[in-house]
Amino acid sequence: MTVRVDIAEQATVAELVAHIDAGEDVLLTRDGETVAIVTKVAAPAKRIERIPGVWAHLGPMDDPDIFFRPDPEFAELAEAHDEDDFYRPQTPEK
């Protein structure tokens, strides 16, 4: 069922929430024209619970600090010298 409320009447919020909680849609109107439709929000989907130790069958990590050290490939790229001349300002030749 839909409840139509004119803003000029200024129905109490508690009354409107009661209608919405009962599953009814509330139409807010101004001068007979619908301004907004208020509906009940669906309950959020239940999250899947985490299971600690789900990857335990893979055994302990060989190097637990692997994520804290810099990647050697990125370090090599950061020190690349092949494009230094491209970005260095050119001096006019005499």
User: Would you tell me how many other CB atoms lie within 10 Å of the CB of residue 67?
Assistant: 8
Strands 25-30 and 33-38: what pairing? antiparallel
pLDDT, tens digit, 9 for 90 and up, residues 13-66:
778 888 888 888 888 888 888 888 888 888 888 888 887 788 888 888 788 788
Looking at residue 1, what is its pLDDT? 58
Looking at residue 5, what is its pLDDT? 62
Instruction: Assign a CATH topology to domain 2-38.
Output: YefM-like fold (3.40.1620)
31 φ, ψ (degrees, to nearest 5)? 55, 40
Cβ contacts of 68 within 8 Å, gap of 6 or more = none
Pairwise pLDDT comparison (20 vs 12), residue with the higher score: 20
Give the start-to-end residue ranges of the domains of the chain. 2-38, 56-87
pLDDT, tens digit, 9 for 90 and up, residues 57-85:
888 878 878 888 888 888 877 776 666 66
